[in-house]
Structure 1
């Protein structure tokens, strides 16, 4: 889900041999209608990147989707970092 403080999860993948400096952020926010949204932001470090929001009927659905995204990114080499 989210980190211990309940805030967004910030991940980074830095590989100088491939000139790769990427970030990925996942956060869950409640919607006005009782559901929850998973908000993702990703791109090259130093840019604003791209964003996507996916809405779910329940907090549990959003948490499950967030965990799935985080597992997939960690399998691809992303690691936790402190937010800038």
Structure 2
């Protein structure tokens, strides 16, 4: 089954300008890996990080598609369809 939320993607070119997870930076906390929301550009920490801000962003906004914000990685994932996008 293909992801049915591709049409929601608004962010096409990921810019590496962020210094890290937006919420962790505000609270002085740390993270393991970063994810960027392809709907609005929010940068949050992954589920291996204790705060899981990328998933919390999805739960709060309903923005389903993220991409790795790690150097050298370009995979995308849809929370709703629970699958990686090609």
TM-score range, shorter chain: under 0.3
TM-score by length of 2: 0.26
TM-score by length of 1: 0.27
Q: Larger % of strand: which?
A: 1
